[in-house]
Structures are given as C-alpha cells and as structure tokens.
Structure 1
Amino acid sequence: MANSSALIQKLWSFCDTLRDDGVSYSDYMEQLTYLLFLKMADQYSTPPYNRKISIPQEYNWKSLLAKSGMPLEEHYFILLRELGKGDTILGQIFAKAQNKIQDPAKLHKLIKMIDAEDWVGMDTDVKGDIYEGLLQKNAEDIKSGAGQYFTPRPLIRAIVECMRLEPMKTIADPACGTGGFFLAAREYLSKQKLTNEQKEFLRKNTFKGWEIVPNTQRLCLMNLILHDIGDIDAAPPIMRVDSLLTKPAELFDYVLSNPPFGKKSTVKITVEEKDDEKKDEKKELTYQRDDFWVTTNNKQLNFIQHICSMLKEDGKAAIVVPDNVLFEGGVGESIRKTLLQSTDVHTIVRLPSGIFYAHGVKANVIFFDNKPKSDTPCTKEIWYYDLRTNIRFTMRNQQMKYADLLDFIDCYNPEKRHIRRETERFKKFTYEELIARDKTSLDIFWLKDDSSYDMENLPDPDVLALEIIENIESALAGFRTIVEMQTTKDE
C-alpha cells in the first residue's frame, strides 16, 4: 500500500493530465469523491464487514470496473443520475452529480488507480490524511476559490486544544466548509479512553453542520466518511442549507466555526425582462429572526447572533471573525454590547495575515461561554493574545505551523483557564475598560509594529511582494467597509 504522501502525489498528478481536457481542480475533487465513495461502499459490502449497502448492483463499483470506452462513459452518466436520489449520505454525495471527465480512457485509468488501493483497510487517519491533503492542494488553487472554505488546520487544532472537548457532547458548525473543525474534534476526542458507547456517540451523534455550497457539502460528507463519521445509508450530518434562515431546532454543547468572510448576505433571483428574457440578479438578504438581537444584512454579525442562539445554557463557542466585527459601529456596537452582557467573552486572538488563501484577510478568534440570563454583565474581563504584530506568514514559503501556536495555547492554559498570567503578547482588559471604549471597540493592540526591515536581512522578494499585496487588499477591504457602512446609514 502506498504511503499517504506518495498516494496524494499520485492522485494529484493525474489531475494535471486532466487539466488539458478542461477539468479543474474542483471538478477533479468531485470525481474523486464519487469514485472513492463507490469503492469504499463496495469494500464495506464484502467480508469481513458484510454491511448492507443500498447501492443497486447495476450501479456499484464492480459495474464500473466491467466497462471501458464509450460504454463506460454512458454507464457512468446513468450511475451518477440514479445514485443522486434520496436523502441519505449516499444521495447527498451524488446529488446533481455530473461527469466532468469526458475522455473514457482517462476515466478508466482513474478508476483503476483507485481500485488498486485498499481504502477501507487503511487506518482511518491515513485515508483521512490523504483526502485532507487533496483538499489542501485544491485550496491552494486561488483561481478556483476553494481556499475560502479551507481554514488552516494548525489554527483549528489549536482552537480545539483550548476548548477541552468532552465525550458524549454535541458539536456544531453552521458554516462547516470541508469539515476541518469536526475532524480536529474527532481526533482530539479519539485520543481519550472512550467506552464503546462513547465511541458510537462520537461516530453517529456528535457532529451537526450546515454548508450552503453544494459541492463543498459533498466534499465535507466524503471527508467525514473517510474519518469514520456517519454511515453511508444514514441521514447526513451536514445539511445543504443556509443555516441563518431559521432558528436552530436543537441546542449544542460546542459551536466551532469560521463563517465566510463576506460582509453582506445576498441571494440570486431570476427576473423577467423584455421579450421574455430572464436575467440573474443579486439582491441583499436581510434575515428576519425574532431571536436575533438586531436585524442587519451583515453576514458576520448575523453569524455571531446565530451561534449564540445555537448554544445550550452552558455551551461554549469559538468563532473566527474578520477585524470589522470587533470595531464596526451601529449594529456592530449593539451586538458587541449584548454579547458582553449575555455571554462570558473571555479570550480573543489577533491572527496574523498570510494564513488564509484569501489575500488581505485580517481575522481574530473569539472564545466565549454562554451563561444564564443575568442583570449584570457575564463578561468580567477579556484576555487578548497578539499573534499578529511583527509576525508574518505566507501561504507559499512560510506557512503557519502548529508549533507557532504553542505559546498561545500555553497562555490560554486550557486545563486551568481561570489561572492566567500576562506576558508580552498576552494582556487582560476589564469589562469596564472595554465598555468605555469608543463604540465598545474590541479591536485592541499594544505592541509596537516594527514594520521596517534591516536592509541586510530583507525577506525574499516574493515574501515582500505578497505582504504588499496583502496590505493593499486589506486597505481596499477597509475602504469597502466604510462605503458599505455609509450606504447602510443613508438607506
């Protein structure tokens, strides 16, 4: 059996072959997902597993192996259509599936390549790492836009380490992307000594997610299956729906999320024009929720309100948000005040630039615990960790690693969170100090930004170029925020 890195390279190199036929990275990931799923389902249906899999014999993995040339292409087309029926994980993965590999010979070669590996027999972590590695490569393709659904795995791992997750508790993500938070949570919980009941709960009942983009939901479901979360014929743990539309039907112990960074929510509608022509237009979407503190079309602020509505009374949350959430006036100020009043916002991490595939993104992680209703503010103090000032990463040559987050985890002190000490990068601010700030801004920094370089020790030219791009794009994002705020005010 090939090791994970070699198999990743083998599968990914075949994508370069398909690109000559117009198959994009995202299209390739789709086709891999369909074929991997069928291969694993076939293996699970045979000894020693002998699971009953609801895939008709005429559309199973062996039916693909038995054909080649044009008969294979025609059969694959029908197979994708037929398996996309139903509400199970099987139906959701194949929903509206299409064959993007138009050359039957190359499709046959890919099928043979996948068939050569014992996917079910692989260790869960190995096959999971293979798929995660492919998702990472897909995210690196900036043109595809796949990176917006990919949160850096070292950051996710650090967040999960700080949360101190417990077995037999539920974990939700209202914008789950490809499932990064779920996989890190599963890995963390699997390292504990679990009973059989706890293992079964982890596999079938722990996770619940929402993802609005169909292909991303498909990738997430496959990612979970490869990591032994969920059953092929069971209801999917990931819903393909806009999670902001309705109140949560259930409450959760933990919510971990990195919602999309766009500010305004939009919906595509089709309008009639002259001569019966139709045109797609985007309209701003405002969520009318009576459980929200304020009504706004700001997507980020809506996610904060939604996540608070998802938590049990003693639930805990960690959410990645862009800078504007910490300082924006108007409804932003109102939401921050309510958040400080109704929850214990105890930790904020200022993240460095250069760790997301979208250039110019400046973000933070907010950790907070839900609390029972109180006449006094639940937040007493917030500890800030500055991982941004004078710290630089790039996605190409200097990616952030888990080791870069160890000092933050040490300062957070997960085992005894209420016993902390200040350091150069870790400072405490009281509720009284925060509420007295203009617009209750939570955007706080204290370290001197030494942006000048020693001329004898300049970074590589590509690093400098990327920093310039990120600074320009960050400035543009700031200007857009100001324009949008003014437009909303005028309206």
Structure 2
Amino acid sequence: MTSSTESGSTQGVRAVALKKSDLYSSLWKSCDELRGGMDASQYKDYILTMLFVKYVSDKAKTDPNSLIDVPNGGSFDDMIAVKGNKEIGDKVNKIIAKLAEVNDLQKVIDLADFNDEEKLGKGKEMQDRLSKLVTIFQELDFRGSRAEGDDLLGDAYEYLMRHFATESGKSKGQFYTPAEVSRVIAKLISVTPETPRSATVYDPTCGSGSLLLKVAAESRQGLTTYGQEKDNATWALSKMNMILHDNAIADIRKGDTITSPQFTTGDTLDTFDFIVANPPFSIKSWSNGLENEFGRFEHGMPPEKNGDYAFLLHILKSMKSTGKAAVILPHGVLFRGNKEADIRKQLVKRGFIKGIIGLPANLFYGTGIPACVIVLDKENAQSRTGVFMVDASNGFLKDGNKNRLRSQDMHKIVDVFNKQQEIDRYSRIVPLDEISNANNEFNLNIPRYIDSSEHEDVQDLYAHIHGGVPNRDIDALSASWDAFPDLRRQLFIGNGQSGYCELTVNIAEVQQTILDSADFTRFYEKALAQVDKWYGAHRPALESISSDTKPSELISILGDELLAEFRNAPLLDEYDVYERLMTYWHGVMHDDVFLIMNEGWLKAALPRKTIEDKDRKISETPDLVIGSGRNTAKYKADLIPPALIVSRFFAEDQARIEDMTAAAEDATHQVEEYLEEHAVEDGLLAEAMDDGKISKALAMTRLKDAKREHAEPEEIITLKHLIDLYDKEAATKKLLRECQTKLDIATLTQYGHLSEIEIRELVLDDKWKTSITNGITGEVTKLTHNLVARIKQLGERYDATLGDLESEIEKLSSKVALHLAEMGLK
C-alpha cells in the first residue's frame, strides 16, 4: 500500500470486539453449532452454566464485595487451563462443583453434566466440543458489566434464553416469558422508580425468573424478590439468573405452588405487595396430591381438570390488602361456564378484577393460543364500579414463527391502561351493571364489549347506477381533512345529487394534487418542526453520553417526550411516530450508545479491521476496502459510516466520482448498443462472435484475420470502432477506480483527524437526527399514500355508471354485429 494508506491505517483504526448485537448473534451461532443432536431445552443448561461461571469469575476480579466467592480451582480461568485436555469433561465438572460448594449452590449450577458422553460425544469429540465452548466464552469480558438490562451480560442472557425458548419446541419453552410481555406486565401493577426496596414481589410460577426481574427493575432500588418453581432445572436457571442480575438474595424456592406452596406461615399463605405470574395454561393435574387448600378456594373450587383458576385464586389469596397482581392466562378464563363462571362472578362482584388486556395470538413459546392479562387490585376493590378492558390483539409484528409486541404496542397498552383512557375499538371502562346484566351474565369475553373488527367497506348501489362518490365515504376520512383542511374542497365538488360528489381532478392526478397542496406542505413542515423541537431539547443529553449513561433511561425519556410532542398532532398516530424512533434505536442507535459508553467518542469513531473468523462463522461486510490482493485491508466503521465523512469533507470529490460513474455506465451502454446493432447473424460482427458473445480480445483477433483476408472495409471499420468503444469503457472504469481508491484512502485518513466536536456533530446531527427525521417523515409519506390509495379506490369504484356500462355494451354489440355481417353471418 502507499504511504498515505499506511498513514490512514495507523492513525484511523481501532481494534475492538464486535458490536453488541453482532456479538449475541455470533454467540448463539457458535453455541448452536456445538449443540449437535442435543435438544435446545437441554443444551441451554450447559450454555447458561458456562455463562454463569464466566460472569462470576470476571466480577470477582474487580468487585471485592461480590456475593459470590470464586475459589482457586473453581474459576473460569481454571476451565481455560483444561482446554484440549483428554479429561476436560470431568475436570470442568470438578471446577463447577468447587464453585458450587463454596457458595452453597449445589443442585443449582452443577445440574449439567459436562462429562455426559451421550450428549457431548465420546473422546476427541467431547474434548474438541468443550474446548471450543470454553473459547467462545473466553473472548467475552464481563468485568465492566453492570447488569442493568443495558449491559452485555443482561442482554446476552436475554438473547440466549429467547433463542433457547424458540428452539425448544411446544412443551419445553415454558421456562421463559417473552421480554416484551414481561415489560408490559411490570408496568401494569403500579411499581414506580420510587417504590422502596422493602416492597415485596412474588411469582408463584417463576420459571427462569425473567418476569420477576423485569418487575424489580421498575424500581430504582429494586424490590424484595420471592419466587417458586416446580421444575428442578428451571428453578436452577432462576437462581443463576438472580445472581447474574445482582439479585443474589432473592428467595427462590422449589416445589409445586398449588399442592406445596413454600411461602406459608402455619396454615396461612404469606402475602405480598406485588404478584406477577405466567402459569402453565389449563393444566389438568393441578389437584394431584392437594391436601391443604390454605383458604384459597373461598370463592369456589376450580374444575378438577383445569387449573387456571387454581393459580388465579392462589395469587388472590397471596395479595396483601392493598396488593396488586397481573396474571397471564388463556382467554377461556373470561367466558368458560360452570364452576369457573361461578368463581368469575364472585371476583367481579367483589371488585378484585381491575382490568383485562387481550393479547395477540402466538406470543408465547409453550402455546400458540391467544392469552390475556388479568390485573387484580385489592385496594379500593369494594368501590370499583367497572372493569377496564383493552383489546390489544391486533398490535404485533410477525417475527419468524412467532408474533412479537412492538415498542409502540407495549407503550400503548401501558399508557392506556394506567390512564384508564378510552379509545374507540381499543379500550373502555365496562360498568359492572353491563357485565352482570341478563345478556352477559358475568361473561368477560372482550369482543362482547369492544368491537375491534375492521369496518365493512359498504358499496353504494345508487352511486354505481348514477355516478358520484358518496359523501359518507368522504366523511369517513375526517382525520385526513383535519390535517388537510382545504384539501377536501380541492379534490371534491358536488355533482348535483344530494349526498354525492365527484373528483375535480383525474384519478391519475390525485397524488400530485395532494403533494402540491399548501395543506400538505404545511403539514410536512410542521412535522419537521416538531422533530427539530424535540431533538433540540434532548441533544445536550445525547452529547453528554459517557460511561455513566444508562441507555434504558435515556431512550425512555426520549420516547416519552416524542410521544408527548406528537400526542395532539392531527392524522399522525403518536405511537406510530414512537415506533419509528424505537426501530432506529434497536437497529442502530443502541449499539452506537453502547460503543460510545465503552470507548468514548474519539476511539469509538475510528474504523477497525473487519473480523473474519471461520470458527465462529463471522464474516463482516467491510465499509472500506483499501488495496488489492495480498495487501488488501478491510475496515468496518461502526459509529460513523464513510458516507457521512465523504458528504461532509469530500463532497466535491464524490460529485466527480458520480459524474465518472455516469460516464462509465454510458460507455458500457454504448458497447452494448453497438453489439446489439452489429453482433447478430449476418451482421458486420458475426465473424467475431463466439457463443453469441464478442469480447475485446475476440474483436482484436478477428481484426487481424480480417486485414489478412482483405475482408470488407465495413467489417474492419466496425471492428475498430468496437475496440475503441471497449478501450473507452476500460479507460473510464480505470479512472473511476483510481479516483474511488484515492477517496477511500482520504476518507480512512480523515477518521484519524476528526476532532471530538466534529465526531459529535457527525453522529448527533448527520447520523442520528437525519435518520430519525427521515423515519418520522416516512410516516407522513405513508399516511399520504394511504389517503391517495383510498381516494383513487373510491374514484375508480364509481367512475363508470350503469349507463356508461350499458352504452359500452351497445357499442361493442354493434361492432360484433358488423363483423358478423362482413363474414356473411346474421
């Protein structure tokens, strides 16, 4: 490479690990590849145990107050030391056993047998597999991990759990409640950042503990945490999960919650401030071995073959007099009859049910059926006069073979429920007298009270016969007319028939008419101004991102303020606008913030050599490629894409390259056109063709032969012109490559010369603000397209009247009769 290239590579390059999102992906791929034929529900025990040992070992090196003691011979470093050892399986078991013994974690972290030949292979196969597994975790560094849900560890654990749940099949994925659902539930039960740590939270079917942790995280100080889990391996996962999230003192007990509740005082259940649960749906064996009811079934005994209400009543009994709870249950609990109907009636009459939220189908890993969240609240239950219902079943994103709540769906559910906000076809407070009347009889099935179905698009027979667009259909677009108050008059005019209008422009001109209107310009500019105002208010906070930043709090403030800014905007749905921000946050901005926090602005801005790791199946697409052949150097610019550097510092060079690109494309086009004209059968270039193609080499060979054979002058002239065109194309492309190489080198070098002020401007303004603004204005464009599509649909629907069709039929019939007559037929 040239000296300038070398300068760029030394001044403008950093060495750093993969960005956060890619790290999780590579971690999963690596682990999954080593799984072999083992079921994911079993393999997770190996992976998560390894993650646990690595984390506590790293933490012990930097935190003298760590609650977990890592002894000699019981650390991850000891695992590294046995890589490649023939007895690695047995030695890893002993390392984990030592760590477990010192910390009283027997039967918690030592459940996975790392010397199991049936699962991990025999001899060399096990040796290689475990050695590679240790290597994968060896490359991770958790010493700076804060376990706040924004850190490497918390997100890596979440990522792995979700993937194991997805891979584990229908009956084995119940150890994990999707993080999106957990976040919603955590915010429905009145836990606030100010809630004291002394407040108690309990999950009677806690699985791996993810739901409990999400609730506890709602308070800045955390909560006093209790849980019970029946499955031994899942209970162990929960214990590890609590330690991984700095909640080692959480009290997680083992056993069946219904037949053997662990949190009792004598014959009385202990009570808690907050309860959350995602119990197994409709379990048939819930009462097997039931001896003591603990007063749980005072409102009725659940049916013998369905345990949904057994869990609900257990939770109700475990609530303090002011306790709050949120429980995920199948929709059947809302409307099934017999014993369940009797219990439901008692709970409604006593005011225990504060609200019900209907969720989309196929959210959970153990089942595809739709579920609901029942929110219980004993505080002021006797004075409760209704049940707040939300139908959130239509708000989701399809993600592979599952559905997933989007950021906007989660925020909307929480906002609407906590504010008890009534929205047409989405939420309402249903009075108790409506629930209890003769028509409903305490049936709580949400569609009885909220019609969320799409309105039928009724066709107008009169308009089909006489023409005109019904005013009823135009009035239905009132939200658009609120946003564009003069546009309706521009597009529609009365046609002399009461209740009907006609378009003032051709259907094909509707879109341009809207885009050219003063209304649209004002609307678009106002949206831009709102984004500018919101971003300007938060730019100082973004500019001051440092190692102390808490990303979850940062995006929470940004998102809430954006919602507030667009809450009263006509036509635009504030949650759609919010989703544009959150999509960018999850896709790009979160990684950027993580990078800045860990490396600082100056270092994070530098490109790095791309990672090519065949063992870990990682092959990054480079942003810059310098040199060629053996001297090729590939670079990844994680924080500032090269296009932003070029746009700010080398705009003129880029403009010249764009001109050269156009010239190169034109030269190629000239070659193609010339070949199309002459490289045909019996054409002037037919003699030079080989398999229907003519390269420059073939043309030159034929030219020599043609001159020697004294061929027709026209052929010789044509061949010379083709060769000239090929030369012109090659020269143009060569110049383009040279200029692009110079620009790439200059761009790489420029990274090393950026000041911190320039870096902040590039990231904050050129990257983040521009991307977020484009996303939000894209929402404006989408809404405009929807309006255009609807107006065109109405215009086309009623464009041809019955009379027009009859006239057309008459014309066509006359033409047919004329043709038949000309053929001699009557």
Q: What is the distance in 1 between the residues matched to 2:107 and 2:233? A: 10
Deviation at 1:142, TM superposition (A): 4.7
Decide which of 139, 143, 162 is 1:136's aligned counterpart. 162
State the partner residue of 1:457.
Answer: none
Q: What is the distance in 1 between the residues matched to 2:67 and 2:181? A: 39
State the partner residue of 2:285.
Answer: 265
Deviation at 1:153, TM superposition (A): 1.9
Name the aligned partner's letter for residue 212 of structure 1: K
Alpha-carbon contact 2:358-2:371 (below 8 Å) kept: yes
Count residues in correspondence: 411
Distance 1:393 1:41, change over 3 A: closer
Name the aligned partner's letter for residue 352 of structure 1: P
Alpha-carbon contact 1:77-1:98 (below 8 Å) kept: yes
Q: What is the distance in 2 between the residues matched to 1:346 and 1:207? A: 24
Distance 1:317 1:334, change over 3 A: same
State the partner residue of 2:559.
Answer: none
Q: What is the distance in 2 between the residues matched to 1:8 and 1:440? A: 47
State the partner residue of 1:409.
Answer: 414
Decide which of 56, 59, 65 is 2:80's aligned counterpart. 65
- The alignment partner of 1:105 has SS state of helix
Deviation at 1:152, TM superposition (A): 2.5
Q: What is the distance in 2 between the residues matched to 1:81 and 1:156? A: 33
Distance 1:142 1:25, change over 3 A: closer
- The alignment partner of 2:38 has SS state of coil
Distance 1:52 1:16, change over 3 A: closer
Q: What is the distance in 1 between the residues matched to 2:163 and 2:455? A: 31
Alpha-carbon contact 2:212-2:225 (below 8 Å) kept: yes
Distance 1:128 1:207, change over 3 A: same
State the partner residue of 1:91.
Answer: 106
Alpha-carbon contact 1:355-1:394 (below 8 Å) kept: no
The RMSD of aligned alpha carbons is 3.0
Decide which of 238, 260, 272 is 1:220's aligned counterpart. 238
Q: What is the distance in 2 between the residues matched to 1:87 and 1:265? A: 36
Give unpaired runs (5+ residues) of structure 1.
191-198, 268-283, 454-491
Deviation at 1:392, TM superposition (A): 6.2
Deviation at 1:44, TM superposition (A): 3.5
Decide which of 322, 329, 338 is 1:314's aligned counterpart. 322
Deviation at 1:322, TM superposition (A): 0.6
State the partner residue of 2:212.
Answer: 182
State the partner residue of 2:196.
Answer: 167
- The alignment partner of 2:412 has SS state of helix
Tell me the TM-score normalized by structure 2: 0.46
Q: What is the distance in 2 between the residues matched to 1:134 and 1:341? A: 44
Within 5 A, what are the aligned runs for 1:428-443?
428-436=429-437, 440-443=442-445
Q: What is the distance in 2 between the residues matched to 1:131 and 1:33? A: 8
- The alignment partner of 2:309 has SS state of helix
Q: Per-residue displacement from partner, 1:337-356 (whole Å, max 9, x unpaired)?
A: 23224443221111121322
Task: Choose between structure 1 and 2: higher helix proportion.
Answer: 2
The worse-fitting range, judged by mean Cα deviation, of 8-17 and 311-320 is: 8-17
Q: What is the distance in 2 between the residues matched to 1:52 and 1:87? A: 9
Decide which of 149, 167, 177 is 2:175's aligned counterpart. 149
- The alignment partner of 1:188 has SS state of coil
Distance 1:46 1:149, change over 3 A: closer
State the partner residue of 1:326.
Answer: 334
Within 5 A, what are the aligned runs for 1:16-415?
16-20=32-36, 22-49=37-64, 51=66, 53-54=68-69, 56-67=71-82, 68-80=84-96, 88=104, 90-99=105-114, 100-102=119-121, 103-124=126-147, 125-126=150-151, 127-143=153-169, 145-165=171-191, 166-168=195-197, 169-190=199-220, 199=221, 202=222, 206-230=224-248, 237-246=251-260, 248-249=263-264, 250-265=270-285, 284=288, 286=290, 288-293=292-297, 294-296=300-302, 297=304, 298-371=306-379, 377=382, 379-388=384-393, 393-396=397-400, 399-412=404-417, 414=418
Distance 1:452 1:152, change over 3 A: farther
Distance 1:45 1:153, change over 3 A: closer
Distance 1:17 1:450, change over 3 A: same
Alpha-carbon contact 1:355-1:395 (below 8 Å) kept: no
Alpha-carbon contact 2:75-2:99 (below 8 Å) kept: no
Q: What is the distance in 1 between the residues matched to 2:212 and 2:172? A: 18
Deviation at 1:135, TM superposition (A): 0.7
Deviation at 1:328, TM superposition (A): 1.7
Q: What is the distance in 1 between the residues matched to 2:455 and 2:176? A: 29
Alpha-carbon contact 1:177-1:211 (below 8 Å) kept: yes
State the partner residue of 1:423.
Answer: 424
- The alignment partner of 2:183 has SS state of helix
- The alignment partner of 1:46 has SS state of helix
Deviation at 1:266, TM superposition (A): 5.3
Name the aligned partner's letter for residue 66 of structure 1: A
Alignment partner of 1:11 is 2:27: yes
Q: What is the distance in 1 between the residues matched to 2:354 and 2:75? A: 51
Deviation at 1:70, TM superposition (A): 2.0
Alpha-carbon contact 1:343-1:378 (below 8 Å) kept: yes
Distance 1:345 1:392, change over 3 A: same
- The alignment partner of 1:189 has SS state of coil
Alpha-carbon contact 1:255-1:316 (below 8 Å) kept: yes
Q: What is the distance in 1 between the residues matched to 2:64 and 2:343? A: 51
Alpha-carbon contact 1:44-1:50 (below 8 Å) kept: no
Q: What is the distance in 1 between the residues matched to 2:400 and 2:169? A: 15
Deviation at 1:107, TM superposition (A): 0.6
Q: What is the distance in 2 between the residues matched to 1:113 and 1:92? A: 25
Which entry has the higher C-alpha Rg, 1 or 2?
2
Deviation at 1:286, TM superposition (A): 4.7
The alignment-based identity, stated in percent, is 26
Distance 1:425 1:326, change over 3 A: same
Q: Per-residue displacement from partner, 1:290-340 (whole Å, max 9, x unpaired)?
A: 412233332211101100111111011111111111112222122212322
Q: What is the distance in 2 between the residues matched to 1:152 and 1:53? A: 28
State the partner residue of 1:276.
Answer: none
Distance 1:56 1:395, change over 3 A: same
Name the aligned partner's letter for residue 370 of structure 2: K
Tell me the TM-score normalized by structure 1: 0.75
Q: Per-residue displacement from partner, 1:146-196 (whole Å, max 9, x unpaired)?
A: 432322322221222232302331111111122222232233223xxxxxx
Deviation at 1:404, TM superposition (A): 1.8
Q: What is the distance in 1 between the residues matched to 2:348 and 2:240? A: 38
Distance 1:33 1:391, change over 3 A: closer
The worse-fitting range, judged by mean Cα deviation, of 5-14 and 76-85 is: 76-85
Q: Per-residue displacement from partner, 1:27-53 (whole Å, max 9, x unpaired)?
A: 332112222222233233334526474
Alpha-carbon contact 2:353-2:374 (below 8 Å) kept: yes
Q: What is the distance in 2 between the residues matched to 1:110 and 1:301? A: 44
Name the aligned partner's letter for residue 11 of structure 1: L
